[in-house]
Structure 1
Amino acid sequence: MNVVLASIDCLRPDALDSRFLDGQKTKGSFYDTCIVQAPFTSPSHTSMLTGQNPHNHGVRWLIDYHTDATTLPEVLSEQGYNTAAFIGGYPLPTGNLDEGFDTFEHITSIKDWKEGRQEFGPANVLVNRAINWLDEHEGEDNFVFLHFFDLHFTLRSEFGKRERPDFDGDHIYKNVEQYIGRQKRRYYEEAEFVGRQLEILHELVDIDTTVITGDHGSKMPGEHGYPWVYDSKGNRVGSQFRAVELYDNIIRVPLMFTGDAFSSQTVHKQVRSIDIVPTLLDALDVEHDPVDGISLLDGELPEFAYSETYHGQLTKENKLTHKMNENYDFGWNELDSLVSIRSNEWKLICTANGDLEPVELYNIAQDPGEHQNCIDEQQDIAEEYFDKLLSLIGDDDQRYATADEVDSEVRQHLEDLGYI
């Protein structure tokens, strides 16, 4: 049996127009609203591979992360599966998720500084390695995890060179409009490319069960002030289109399961990244310990989804980040840390710069673009969701903590990728 879990970094639900990805939606169970538990790579993937929220698996930051939680490949290894991961980008390889895999390859065959992906492995190389590995283990039980980095662009890279673009008197990038259009076009071109590579994988190898999803989305022109970020007081504090906000364009990704265990259906109600592990293990008839997620196999759906981004708080006490902020006035130290709780009708967003403070409430059933903050008009609902949020996170004290300092090399990696 061959099982594949493909995570496409920055994948939005509207990026599934390739022939293969669009076809997968009709072959199995397609959920168009899967809510990730963090909008950046390492904590989101840890939730994806453990079935746990960040306050339980312990990964809250991008680099040098560590979790003691049991991972999906560890469970499958105990069941006799061969396990392999082929990773296309940074910073996922900086933690200890590799410990659950027999084979773990971080592929860096392309040096792509102009589009902000640094040294990364393009989808065709990852798929080629997966095909060869599966051929080597033909006739055995195999699990392959693929992390595609092809869609991970940064705004700065759109200026065609590593030097920072010039700012005008209002601290706005000069001539930014022409580059915004190019970023959007390149995003969908790469989504099409990844889809073609996954199609090749399924043509050349018999895959019994496939899961396709993303670790977070990506903000696009016209959405929440793209590319600008605003703090809870309405001040513009920097430019970024991933990792630092909890709007649906960042935390909503598609999720597809195909295989004999999955019926053909399209579900518009929300599910979560933490539901992948219990659902897949149930489909494979593998017993497992309880996790934060639930199995979707029999139609049960979660009422609430939790998401967090401690990007702002974790850089606030970092001396190197302070220095960069002084040099370039990017405003990263003023970014809010945020937590949210979401249902199919409402989403509450709270700042987490210490004590939680409710700041935004959206009726996403009627306002899916999250244009109208109605926290003042719907205080009863805000209080109800705030109480639910507090009960969910319990005594988690991350909102009072800060990250360790990073060295100059790591800072450069994060900066080039658009994280700081």
Structure 2
Amino acid sequence: AAWTLLCGGVGSIGFGIAVIKGNWLAAKAGGHAVRLSLLAAAGWIMLLLVCLGAGNAALAVFPKPPSESAQSRTAAPAGAPNVILCAIDALRADVLKAWNPAAPTNTPALDALTRDAVVYRQAFAGSTWTKPSFATMFTGRHPHDHGAVSKTSAIRPGLTTLAGCLQEAGWHTAGFSNNPNTLALFGFDAGFDTYTDLKPNPLPGATPGATRLSLYQLIRKVFLTIEGKLRGGRIRITDFYQPAENITDIALKWCDTERPADRPFYLYLHYMDTHDPFMDHKRPGTGYARARMERPDPEKYRDAMFNAYCSEVEYLDRHLDRLFQGLRQRGLYDNTLIIFVSDHGEEFYDHGGWWHGQTVYHELAHVPLALKLPGNRHAGVQVQGIARLVDLMPTVLRACGLDETLGAITDLPGRSLIDAEGLPTADHEPAFTEVDFEGNRMQAVRNATHTLIRANPDNPRGVLPEELYDRQRDPAEKHNLAQSGELEGILQPMRETLDAILRGAPVVIPKNDSGEPVGPPQAPMDSTVQEQMRALGYL
């Protein structure tokens, strides 16, 4: 520890001297302050990194291992399929041809997958930002039920999870998180035998232990700022998350080296490429990040950002092709249930805003969902009814032959998207979406034809307290009919449905000694998590 402090102190003092001296030399040289200061500071930072590397023993005292859960106590059913949750962050349904024939992207791998799969054309997320939506997929519960609804809240402990059910039934469960909102810190590792929190690339020479130090985060921030300027502001995506190329490599390596030979597996893969920064793959290094441009000028940036987003979709498709081909080469594709899904969409000024999490409109709530069933059963079937991400957990349990397990969980709000005879279905239950993010508190309920939205007064996005849309005539939800006075026969039943969903949270929420409900657990974020959140625009 003393060596670490010494290295950090010497490096920090040296860095300060370098900046001051660089500015003084620049003044003498006629105003080239930035160039001389940056070069001097970069040299000192590299020296400090060497010191950190030399002091690895002091820095990496207790590297956090992947979460370990209890080993399976039973054998999986004979012929049980593998399961892969292939989750894509912030992917709009309307940029894929299976959901929009006029989509502007070329995605041959996903086109082929959807020909092998059942496609649910009207699937809706439980929330419109990452943490609550993934928690809904993992637990089969609405956000107000599972509790992971804020930037610091975690999944309520003790909830039954999809991973836990599969683990208990004999599956080996492994997960690779790639977004700070789905860290083990927030309870997402429950039920996994191994759970790996993937992080942005560390600085050269830094150990896992070093990356958890506040000093390291300060050094990293300064280093990336300086190095970024030396690179002319070009974005390097591994400073934010691991790209599709790396996720596919990790998945295939896991299949080769860690996949158990004696039982089926459940593998969670998190692809982040359609989350900002949106990289323009036709112009390497050019990207658009929320942390750098919270409110872009739509006249200047809308088309450029959307085109970059579409190039991310095509880049993703190339590496999903490698994943699917790799599964075929290993003899795993046929007997694997592949769930292709997004947690939410992305807004490109559709309703006067950007990014995600701030509204519950169609561009954010509508998500792609396709189930490639074992043996490619029902390949090419398109289901038109309402599907919901809260339905994924019961659907997977049924597809895996675990009807008894599913029947024992009596309080799940979702319904299986496969009926008792194994046929694809969507039972027209209303879809419920909610968000509580950056002062925007909203709920939406969607039936087969209409959408009702309820919002808190004076929310930052300016959504009215009540809005109603006819999706048959207005699929983009642009023309509010709630105040027309002509649709009360539709509006009132939808109000009652929304109220019933909010009242019907089945989980028994713990109470304190005064009988007041206790909120979901809070997970304090260390400097590493805060910096990763900040880079992605969450802080």
For the criterion TM > 0.5, the same-fold answer is yes
Contact 1:21–1:195 (8 Å) recurs in 2: yes
Q: Which residue identity lines up with residue 112 of structure 2 in the other structure?
A: G
Quick one: distance in 1 between partners of 2:193 and 2:268?
A: 11
The alignment's TM-score, normalised by the length of structure 1, stands at 0.80
User: How far 1:128 moved relative to its partner?
Assistant: 1.4
Q: Which residue of 2 aligns with 1:350?
A: 454
Quick one: distance in 1 between partners of 2:347 and 2:429?
A: 25
3-state SS of the aligned residue for 2:347? coil
3-state SS of the aligned residue for 1:254? strand
Identity of aligned residues (%): 26
3-state SS of the aligned residue for 1:360? strand
The alignment's TM-score, normalised by the length of structure 2, stands at 0.63
Contact 1:110–1:122 (8 Å) recurs in 2: no
- 2:267 is aligned with 1:147: no
- 2:393 is aligned with 1:277: yes
User: How far 1:418 moved relative to its partner?
Assistant: 2.9
Matches within 5 A, 1:215-234: 215-221=343-349, 223-225=350-352, 228=353
Matches within 5 A, 1:368-387: 368-377=475-484, 378-387=487-496
Q: Which has the higher strand share?
A: 1
Quick one: distance in 1 between partners of 2:271 and 2:502?
A: 31
User: How far 1:417 moved relative to its partner?
Assistant: 1.9
Q: Which residue of 1 aligns with 2:214?
A: none
Matches within 5 A, 1:115-194: 118-136=239-257, 137=259, 139=261, 140-153=263-276, 177-194=299-316
Q: Which residue of 1 aligns with 2:497?
A: 388
User: How far 1:306 moved relative to its partner?
Assistant: 0.7
For residue 172 of structure 2, the aligned residue among 76, 82, 89 is 82
- 2:423 is aligned with 1:307: no
3-state SS of the aligned residue for 1:22? helix
Cα root mean square deviation, aligned:
3.2
- 2:535 is aligned with 1:416: yes
**285-294 or 74-83, which deviates more:** 285-294
**71-80 or 138-147, which deviates more:** 138-147
User: How far 1:266 moved relative to its partner?
Assistant: 1.0
Quick one: distance in 1 between partners of 2:288 and 2:339?
A: 35
User: How far 1:388 moved relative to its partner?
Assistant: 1.2
**283-292 or 404-413, which deviates more:** 404-413
Contact 2:129–2:344 (8 Å) recurs in 1: yes
User: How far 1:215 moved relative to its partner?
Assistant: 0.4
Deviations along 1:226-273, one digit per CA (max 9) or x if unpaired, are xx3xxxxxxxxxxx3210100010011010001237413112322000
Q: Which residue of 1 aligns with 2:378?
A: 263
User: How far 1:274 moved relative to its partner?
Assistant: 0.9
- 2:176 is aligned with 1:69: no
Matches within 5 A, 1:1-12: 1-12=81-92
3-state SS of the aligned residue for 1:270? strand
**90-99 or 153-162, which deviates more:** 153-162
Alignment length, in residue pairs?
374
The 1:115/1:15 distance shift into structure 2, 3 A limit, reads farther
The 1:296/1:165 distance shift into structure 2, 3 A limit, reads closer
Q: Which residue identity lines up with residue 259 of structure 1 in the other structure?
A: L
Contact 2:92–2:366 (8 Å) recurs in 1: yes
Rg larger in 1 or in 2?
Answer: 2
User: How far 1:296 moved relative to its partner?
Assistant: 1.1
3-state SS of the aligned residue for 1:188? helix
Quick one: distance in 2 between partners of 1:418 and 1:34?
A: 26
Quick one: distance in 2 between partners of 1:259 and 1:161?
A: 36
Q: Which residue of 1 aligns with 2:94?
A: 14
User: How far 1:55 moved relative to its partner?
Assistant: 2.2
Q: Which residue of 2 aligns with 1:331?
A: none
User: How far 1:164 moved relative to its partner?
Assistant: 5.2
3-state SS of the aligned residue for 1:100? coil
- 2:152 is aligned with 1:25: no
For residue 53 of structure 1, the aligned residue among 125, 136, 142 is 142
Contact 1:30–1:256 (8 Å) recurs in 2: yes
Contact 2:385–2:426 (8 Å) recurs in 1: no
Contact 1:158–1:179 (8 Å) recurs in 2: no
The 1:405/1:197 distance shift into structure 2, 3 A limit, reads closer
User: How far 1:106 moved relative to its partner?
Assistant: 1.9
